[in-house]
């Protein structure tokens, strides 16, 4: 099997999500050819990622215990670290 087959099409770091996987720390995301470390959730098939929103001071924004996220569309390539 190749690595792509073994990786899920959708994964989340939010433990309340049905797409949560404890293996998310072992998966890296390449988005539009650029390695991203701030991805909260991704969907390879639909071609989007959700990233953590930071305010103008660079601090993470959280609301009710969950990160505020922004969705970006593009080419998503998950890989094993």
Residue 57 is part of which domain span? 3-80
User: Quick one: pLDDT at residue 65?
Assistant: 67
Spell out where 1-81 has E strands.
10-12, 27-31, 34-36, 39-43, 48-52, 62-63, 66-67, 69-73, 76-80
User: Quick one: pLDDT at residue 62?
Assistant: 73
> Phi/psi of residue 33, each to 5°?
85, 0
User: Quick one: pLDDT at residue 47?
Assistant: 96
**CA-to-CA distance for 61 and 24, rounded, in angstroms?**
21
User: Quick one: pLDDT at residue 2?
Assistant: 52
pTM for the structure as a whole: 0.79
Low-confidence ranges of the chain (pLDDT < 50): 1, 4-5
């Amino acid at each position: 099997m190749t690595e792509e087959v073994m990786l899920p099409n959708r994964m989340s770091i939010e433990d309340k999500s049905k797409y949560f996987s404890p293996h998310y720390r072992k998966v890296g995301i390449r988005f539009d050819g650029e390695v991203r470390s701030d991805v909260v959730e991704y969907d390879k098939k639909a071609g989007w990622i959700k990233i953590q929103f930071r305010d103008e001071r660079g601090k993470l924004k959280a609301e009710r215990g969950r990160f505020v996220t922004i969705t970006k569309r593009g080419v998503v390539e998950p890989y094993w670290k």
